[in-house]
Amino acid sequence: MNKDLQTFIANHFSVPGRALDLGAGDFHDVNALIELGWKAVGVDKTTGVDLNDLYEDPRMSFNLVYSNFVIHKLLHPEKLVETAYENLDTNGWFFLQTFHKSDTISSSRLDEETIAGRLDSIGFKNSTIEVLNIYDNDPGHGHWHRVLMASAQKVAKECYS
């Protein structure tokens, strides 16, 4: 399981909840969460969901929506942030990892300001954004990445109006 997601969950959830993975890939994080007692589901282009469009999951609402290494690929990245917001319950958390624009391997155009702006404009609060150096040790890789990691919360409107 993604170690940073695991740490985020340990810091923000005392009991397993309901999680949605946007761009789940081979579903390894979804399956790891299920093992931990979560009700977890994922969507991906490979399952017929294009995250360039707003997606509302018909199965349930969630207290965690996460998306790792997908948003930089989208023509309409703002739709993924909107999808996260719309599928979250009040007080639910969004966790995001993607490549920073300074990453030399990927072609991301995203940086702290663009992510902060998107989170803010959709209504997320309590956001934190970090840039990490992460070593990719997968077979045939063996290089460093510059990774943007963000989290934010959907809070009740009356808390900030």
Ligand X SMILES: C[S@@+](CC[C@H](N)C(=O)[O-])C[C@H]1O[C@@H](n2cnc3c(N)ncnc32)[C@H](O)[C@@H]1O
Work out the number of other CB atoms within 10 angstroms of the CB of residue 53. 12
Using the rule CB under 6 A, give the single segment among 7-15, 70-78, 106-114, 145-153 that binds ligand X.
70-78
Taking the least distance from each CB to ligand X, the nearer of 2 and 127 is 2
Angstrom distance (rounded) from CA 156 to CA 26: 34
What are the backbone angles phi and psi of residue 36, rounded to the nearest 5°?
A: -85, 0
Work out which of 1, 74, 116, 129 binds ligand X, going by CB under 6 A: 74
Give the footprint of ligand X on residues 133-152 (CB under 6 A): none
Site for ligand X, residues 6 to 45, rule: CB under 6 A: 23-25, 44-45
Q: Which among 49, 16, 123 has a CA at the least distance from the CA of 67? A: 49
Which residues are 98's β-sheet partners? 148
Rank residues 86 and 155 by Cβ distance to ligand X and give the closer one: 86
CA atoms of 88 and 61, how far apart (whole Å): 6
Q: What is the DSSP string of 45-75?
A: GGGT--TTS----SS--EEEEEEES-GGG-S
Q: Which is nearer to ligand X, 44 or 78 (CB)?
A: 44
Instruction: Give the shortest CB-51-to-ligand X separation in angstroms.
Output: 4
Between 46 and 102, CB nearer to ligand X = 46
Residues at the contact surface with ligand X, assessed by CB under 6 A = 23-25, 44-46, 49-52, 68-70, 73-74
